[in-house]
Structures are given as structure tokens and as C-alpha cells.
Amino acid sequence: MEMYTVGIWGYSFASIAYVIFSLLILAAHNQSSFTKWLLLSALVVGGTNIVAALQIYIGFSLQWAMLVDAIKIAVFSVLILSFNIEKVSVLEVLKNKIIVKYLLFWCGSSIVCWGASYTLDFSYKYLFLLFLLLNLTSLVLLEQIYRGANVEGKRSITPFVIALGSIAVFDFVLYAQATMVGSIEFDFWYVRGYLSVLAVPLLLISIRRFKEGAVRIFVSRNVVFYSSMLMIAGLYLLLMAIAGYLINYFGGKWGHLVSFGFFILGSIVLAVLLITETVRRRVKVFISKNFFANKYEYREEWLELIGQIEMANAENHYQMSLQIMMSKVDATGGIILKANGNNRFTVKHSDGIKLDSSFDKDLMLLENFTKKQGWIIDINEYNEDPLSYPGLFIQPKIWHAVGVTILVPIFIGKDFYGFFILSNSDEENKLNWEDRDLLFAIAKQLGNFISLNEANDKLAESKQFDAFNQMSAFLVHDLKNVQAQLALITSNAKQHRDNPEFVDDVFETVESATERLAKVLAQLRNKQVAQSTSKTVDLGNIIERVTVQRNLAQPQVVIKKSEECLTSIDYERFFSVINHLIQNAQEATSNDGLVEIALEKQQDRITIIVSDNGSGMSESFIKSRLFKPFDTTKGNAGMGIGVFDAKQFIESLAGSLTVESVEGQGSKMIICLPAYNSGLQINRYDDNLLNL
């Protein structure tokens, strides 16, 4: 029997098989659009096989059989695309945007290739390229619906995919070989009918499994990835076919040998590209980033992160940061490690994970690697492919032993802070590019959040030290005043020891100093400056008593006062302020100079002026240094807080302290205070309670 006879019988059997298949579809009384289009497809395939059989028997041009074959491919492709289209009529299916796009692609490519075949050199090479491309498209569509179906859907469509896929793969190989050598291998052409017959039982099984008219397909990232890889492989083979044609055309008698060698070399290159994980990973990332909506709704993620951060406080910011990071990957445990330098880490917070000294070496390697690369470390990925983290050599087993799967570096600015170390029960799950991007963004924000809270902690600690130092400075200042008071007694003892009034003043001063020291000790025990107590007093009386003490030193203080000046004030602190201002005036004036204190009342205001004709102060010194705490011109002899304390105290009473001074001529310290005009009883100083 000749081969062409085999071909005639094969296409004839196929025609009969698809006619019977069409009758069975009609008997099923299924009115879904998919079933209707399947009926149309069966009739078209039957017609295609009849034309192919007649072409072999009569011998008319092969192009007519190829034209009908192109229509068959289009109908099959529309049938595949109609899986996810819930329409009743065939016309509505044809109006679908996806179907319209495919048909435009089919028409365009067919017109171009058929036109080129008729207008350029009347050869079949352009038609072979057309059928190579159309069959490749059918394979991509089949691969998409299969990978996109759920488990139940896959069971239903598997026979369907095998049937149409077998036909498409056979035709792809047929036309690829024809493109390479310039003509169809008719031995292959003659057996196509038998392959169509074998597809019919598989199609019948699929129809029985279809419980509904459409199988729902979800086009996932993996579907597009594998479809893209299939498309890349097909396009590569298409280019190889074109190259083979050119080699045959220009290669002369060596063309077949060079073509075969080029085919082998190209196949090796294609296999390497498809097997190489790096290429596959890059293609997958590229597709995910550029052809899909994001996995995460970033606006919602960001708002959720802000809300969670707002709920944190100074006491739980480490705990809250770890909980936020764990929630993003559904981690079952986590730990925050802070780098201390020299490859040492401190645990800031832990939830279900404990790391012992056996992890120290790996942590050192991870820190060095992360500082260079800035990558998130996926232990599952590293375990499968260590080369994906070049230069990193850790022990994934010890991390898996404690359940750790992810290490997210924390950077504050460009400085490495530490790690979020997370555990996950699903050790097979690996991070994709979008997971990494989200974790990076969150880790960056949480790093700044942690840094801010740590800075606040340091600031609060610094403020506590500042408060303690300030308290200490004021206490030392008080002690210095007591010491100066006692020093005055000592310096005047030789001259006035026989004076009974001097002796009385000495006892009063010593008693006052003792009480003052007792208060200082009480403040030290309580670690705070005693709260002031205000009473209505006569300021003239306080000034007189200060003057008595200050006149133990030179120059003598002259008092000028008018009427009684009453106000509500803490007399101990006011006594100390006036004492300090007079002391400063005396120290700035020579022994034969003038120091004067004037007190006068003007309606509801009281004015106190301490003046001298001493060395004076410059304007720049008054503006920048006079009222600045801990800035003194007395060297180690002063604390630099006397005038600062005086100003703070006066202003706390709704008063003011101003300065007028000319260098070489003297100074005036002007105090303005509100007067107290009530008729309350005046508190006068007990002679036994001399205040500093």
C-alpha cells in the first residue's frame, strides 16, 4: 500500500469520527456557548479532514488544504479562549474583546504570510512560518487554561488539553521541519488524520466531565511565566527555522550539514537557557513586575502600618515593631537583634525564638554579607540554591532547627542596625520579589521608628541627668553662699571679735547657716529642689537684713528706700537673689567704690535697683553670656547660675530683671515686681531665722 493511500484512509476515518462526535454533542442538548463552539469546531475539523483527503486523492494545490487548516487552528484557539466566557450565543462569544484581539492577530498574520507567498516568490516558506506561529499560539493558550484551572477543573480539561495539544505539537513539529528544509515531509502529513481520530475519545471524556458550560480559569503569575517561557522557546525555534532556511539558501552543498550543526548548537543553547534558574527567575520577576497588578494593596498596607505604629509607646516599641513585621509574613515567631559592633548582637525583643552561641558565626557572616548587598535572606531559598547568595556561607540546618526562615536587615539611613529574624511553619514557602520589596519598605520605616524611640529614651535619660546636674548646681551655689557667709565671719573676726554686736551677728549667721545646710541635705535626700512657699512680706525688711550681712565685706552697701513695699514672695529665695546681686556688685567694685540698693513703690509695681560704679559689662556680654547658666567670669570660684537663677525667679513672679551697664562706669540691675495691696498681716523676719 502506498503512503498516500494510508493518508487518504486516515483523513477519511477522521472525517467520519468528527461527524459522529458532532452528532453526540447535539444529542447532549447542552445549550452553553462552549458546547456550541465545540460543535462548530468538530464540524470544522471534519471538513478539514475531508479537504485533506480530497487533496491527496485529486492532487489539487496543497495551499487549499493549508487554508482550511488555518481556519481549523483559529476555531480551536477560539474554543480554548471561550472556556472563561459566560455567553450563551456564538455571536456573543465572537464579540468578546479577547476573542476579537486573537482573530485580528490571526487575520493579520494570515494576510501578511499568504500575501508574501503570492507576491514575492510563490513559495511555501512564508506559509510554513505562519503555521509555526499559529500552532505555537495554540500551545500557549492550552498551557494557560491548564495551569490556571483549579484541581477539579484540571481533572475535567486534562483529556481536552491532551487532545488539542497533541494535534498542535504534531503540527508545530511538522511545520518547523518544513521551515528548516523548505518542504513538508509528506510521511508526517499522511499520518495527521490518524492523530485526529485518536483525539476524539479524549474529547468525549472531557465532555462527560464538564458539569457546567465553562471552566473558571484564573490567570496567575506562574501561568504567565510558564506561558512566556513556552512562547520564548517557540519563538527561539522559529528563529532557528529561519536561520536554517537562510543557511540552506546560501550554504550550497554544505547547507544541510551546516544546518544540522546549527540546529544542534541552538538546541543546546535553548536547553541551557530554559534550565538555568537565574534566567527563569529573571523572566518571572520581569513578568510579575510589568504585566500584573501588585500582589499587595500598598496604600492599605501603608495606612495599616501607620495605624499600628501610632498604637505603640515608649515601653513597647520593640514588641510592636516585631509584631508588625511578623504579621506581614504570617510568622509564628520572631526576634529583633541589634548590632553592637565587632560582630556582636543584643536581643532587643524576642517572641518564640532563642538563639544560642552556635549562631554567632553565622550572624557574623550574615552581617558582613548584608552590609555589602543589603539583601533579605530567605533560608529556604538559600538551602535550595546557595549560589543565589554569592559569597554567603551559612548553615541553613541550624536555622531550620529553630524554625527561622527569613532574616530582614534593618538599616537606619545607610547604617546597619540589625535584623528582624522571623520563623514560619511553612518551610517550603519562598519569598518573591514583591514580598521582598514590601518587607524592605516596612523594615526601613520600622528602623526609623525604633531609632526615634531609642533617641527619645536617650533624650529622657539625658534630661534626667540635666535635671540632676541643675539641682546639684543650685545646691552647690547655696553651699557656696553659706561658705562665703562663714568666710566673712572669719575674715572679720580679728577686727571685731571684742564687739558684742558682732558676736551676736556671728551666732545668728551660724544658726542660719546650720538651718540652710539642713535644707540642702534634705533636698539631696529627696533628689529635688524644695518647692517654694510664698508669703506676703515687706521687701524693705529683707533688703535691710541682706545689707547687714553684706556689709561685713567692702565696699559698704547704701540703702535707699521709700514707703513700705509689700508683695507675696518666697522670702528665702528672694533673700538669696538680693544677696547674690549685691555680692556681684561688691566684687565688681573697688573697696572705696559705691554699691547702692534702692527700693521704691510706684502704684502697683515695686522697683529694686542694685547699682555700682565698678568695672561694668559690655553690651555683647549682657546679651550672650550674663543670663546663660554655667557661664561664669570667676573661673573655678563661680558656678555661673546666680544671675540665671535670679532672672528665672523674678520672671516666675510676673516680674522682670533688666540690666544697664557701661564698661568702666558701673552697672544697674533693675528688678520690677508686682506690689501686694491687700490688708493681710505682714510676715516679718524673726531675728532667729536669718535666711540666705
Nearest to residue 566, comparing CAs of 685, 680, 687, 691? 680
Give a yes or no: residue 491 inside a domain.
no
Nearest to residue 606, comparing CAs of 574, 571, 563? 563
Give a yes or no: residue 47 inside a domain.
yes
Q: Which of 282-291, 462-471, 502-511, 534-543 has the highest mean pLDDT?
A: 534-543
User: Which pLDDT score, from 0 to 100, does residue 37 have?
Assistant: 76
pLDDT digits (tens, 9 = 90+) for 535-581: 888 888 888 888 887 887 889 999 988 677 888 888 788 888 898 89
| Average pLDDT for 454-465 | 74
CB atoms within 10 A of CB 163: 22
Residue 260 and residue 320 share a domain: no
Q: 447: domain CATH number? A: 3.30.450.40
Nearest to residue 80, comparing CAs of 153, 164, 199, 188? 164
Give a yes or no: residue 514 inside a domain.
no
Helix (H) or strand (E) holding 567: strand 566-569
User: Which pLDDT score, from 0 to 100, does residue 678 have?
Assistant: 46
Q: Is the pLDDT of residue 220 over 60?
A: no
Q: Please identify, among 203, 219, 235, the residue that sits at the C-terminal boundary of a domain.
A: 219
Residue 248 and residue 124 share a domain: no
pLDDT digits (tens, 9 = 90+) for 434-458: 778 888 888 888 888 888 888 887 7
Q: Return the HEC string of 236-279.
A: HHHHHHHHHHHHHHHHHHHHHHHHHHHHHHHHHHHHHHHHCHHH
Higher pLDDT, 75 or 280: 75
Q: Concatenated DSSP letters for 392-458?
A: ----HHHHHHTTEEEEEEEEETTEEEEEEEEE-S-TT----HHHHHHHHHHHHHHHHHHHHHHHHHH
Please, what is the Cα angle at 322 between 319 and 327, to 5 degrees? Answer: 125
Residue 650 and residue 581 share a domain: yes
Residue 319 and residue 455 share a domain: yes
User: Which pLDDT score, from 0 to 100, does residue 613 have?
Assistant: 93
Higher pLDDT, 176 or 690: 176
Higher pLDDT, 692 or 286: 286
Give a yes or no: residue 560 inside a domain.
yes
Residue 252 and residue 155 share a domain: no
Q: Is the pLDDT of residue 121 over 50?
A: yes
- Using CB atoms within 10 Å of the CB of residue 565, give its burial: 0 to 12 exposed, 13 to 18 middle, 19+ buried: buried
Q: Please identify, among 255, 271, 292, the residue that sits at the C-terminal boundary of a domain.
A: 292
Give a yes or no: residue 467 inside a domain.
no
Residue 587 and residue 670 share a domain: yes
How many DSSP H helices and E strands does the chain contain? 22, 12
Q: Domain tally for the chain?
A: 4
Q: Is the pLDDT of residue 75 over 60?
A: yes
User: Which pLDDT score, from 0 to 100, does residue 435 have?
Assistant: 79
Residue 409 and residue 382 share a domain: yes
pLDDT digits (tens, 9 = 90+) for 317-358: 888 888 888 888 878 889 998 888 777 788 888 888 888 888
Q: Is the pLDDT of residue 670 over 60?
A: yes
Residue 307 and residue 270 share a domain: no
Give a yes or no: residue 485 inside a domain.
no
Q: Is the pLDDT of residue 156 over 80?
A: no
Boundaries of domain holding 551: 531-692
Residue 302 and residue 434 share a domain: yes
Q: Is the pLDDT of residue 679 over 60?
A: no
Residue 575 and residue 665 share a domain: yes
Q: 541: domain CATH number? A: 3.30.565.10
CB atoms within 10 A of CB 514: 10
Q: 182: domain CATH number? A: 1.20.1070
User: Which pLDDT score, from 0 to 100, does residue 557 have?
Assistant: 92
Quote the CA–CA distance of 488 and 496 in Å, as a whole number.
11
Reported confidence tier of residue 179, pLDDT bands at 50, 70, 90: confident
Higher pLDDT, 662 or 255: 662
What Rg do the C-alpha atoms of the chain give, in angstroms? 49
Give a yes or no: residue 72 inside a domain.
yes
Give a yes or no: residue 520 inside a domain.
no
Quote the CA–CA distance of 340 and 413 in Å, as a whole number.
17
Q: Is the pLDDT of residue 289 over 60?
A: no
Residue 229 Cα to chain centre, angstroms: 32
- In whole numbers, what is the pLDDT of the chain averaged over residues? 76
Q: Is the pLDDT of residue 248 over 60?
A: no
Residue 380 and residue 259 share a domain: no
Higher pLDDT, 530 or 560: 560
Reported confidence tier of residue 524, pLDDT bands at 50, 70, 90: low
Residue 208 and residue 224 share a domain: no
Q: Please identify, among 425, 459, 493, the residue that sits at the C-terminal boundary of a domain.
A: 459
Higher pLDDT, 99 or 146: 99
Quote the CA–CA distance of 308 and 501 in Å, as a whole number.
74
Higher pLDDT, 1 or 176: 176
